[in-house]
Amino acid sequence: MFGKGLITGMRVTLKHFFGKKATFCYPEEKLPMPERFRGGHLKLDYKKCIACQLCSMACPNGAIELKVVTDAQRKRHLTSYIHHMGRCMYCDLCIENCALHSLHWDQNYEISAYHREAFDYEVLTDSDREYLKQVMEAAAANPAPPIVPKKPVPPKPAEAAKPEKEGEKAEEKTETEGKPNE
């Protein structure tokens, strides 16, 4: 009989009309995100970070912009960690490449914004900057001894023509900019 299939289909629809709801009211109710969820802002454990810049190098899109400073004890610190979220693919490679596991996602998924500038997210917080200031001052008070230039190696006969390298000097507070990948 023509129309039998239609009626069977309508019966299913009717059953669901009075059945349990499959949806929920989003802004009022929120789903918890699983532990492995990738998304939202980056979270940096600043005290663990050694500013090795591996996260920035692992990024396929160059979405992480770092500024690194060297203190008087020749240790590197981050002065700025900008996560360009507009370029980010949330592929997780930065976090997996972090040697000290100091980088994480926060579990927030509501990242839409009205302005483009909001997507250049500064990961460092004020307390991180405060900590950096303390570390820098402590290092300046107790600077590492300058690197003694190595004695020039007696040149081999074949390389005698080449000019000798000068010994490196201890550089203080040199600001280098993390190059974007590629």
Partner 1 sequence: MAGTETYTLNMGPQHPSTHGVLRVQLELDGENIISATPIMGYLHRGVEKMLENRTYVQGVPYTDRLDYVSSMNNNFGYCRAVEELAGIEVPERAEYIRVIVAELNRIASHLVFIGSLAIDLGASTGMLYTFRDREEILDLFNLVCGARMTFHYIRIGGVNRDVQPEFIEKTYKFLEHVPEFMEEYKKILLGNEIFMSRLKGISKLSQETALSHNMTGPNIRATGIPYDIRKVDGYSVYPKFDFNVVTGKNGDNWDRFNVRYNEIFESAKIVKQALDGLPEGPFMAKVPKVLRPPKGEVFSRTEGTRGELGFYIVSDGSTKPYRVHIRRPSFVNMQGLNDMCKGYLIGDSVAAFSAIDPLMGEVDC
Residue 39 backbone class (left: φ over 0; alpha: ψ -120 to 50; beta: rest): left
Cβ 38 to partner 1 shortest distance, Å: 4
Which residues lie near partner 1 (CB under 8 A)? 2-6, 8-9, 11-13, 22, 33-34, 36-39, 58, 60, 89-93, 96, 182
- Nearer to partner 1 by Cβ, of 28 and 182: the residue is 182
On whether the CB atoms of residues 56 and 181 are closer than 8 A, the answer is yes
| 121 contacts: CB under 8 Å, gap ≥ 6 | 41, 42, 82, 83, 84, 85
Q: Please identify, using beta-carbon distances, which residue of 92 and 137 lies nearer to partner 1.
A: 92
Q: How far is the CB of 87 from partner 1 (least distance, A)?
A: 12
- Closer by beta carbon to partner 1, 12 or else 161: 12
Give least dist CB 90 to partner 1, A.
7
**Does residue 131 contact residue 67 with C-beta atoms inside 8 Å?**
no
Indicate the helix (H) or strand (E) that contains 69.
strand 64-70
Q: If you write DSSP's letter for every residue of 29-40 in order, what string do you get?
A: S-PPPPTT---S
Task: Output 109 or 119, the one with its CB closest to partner 1.
Answer: 109
Shortest approach of partner 1 to residue 41 CB, angstroms?
15
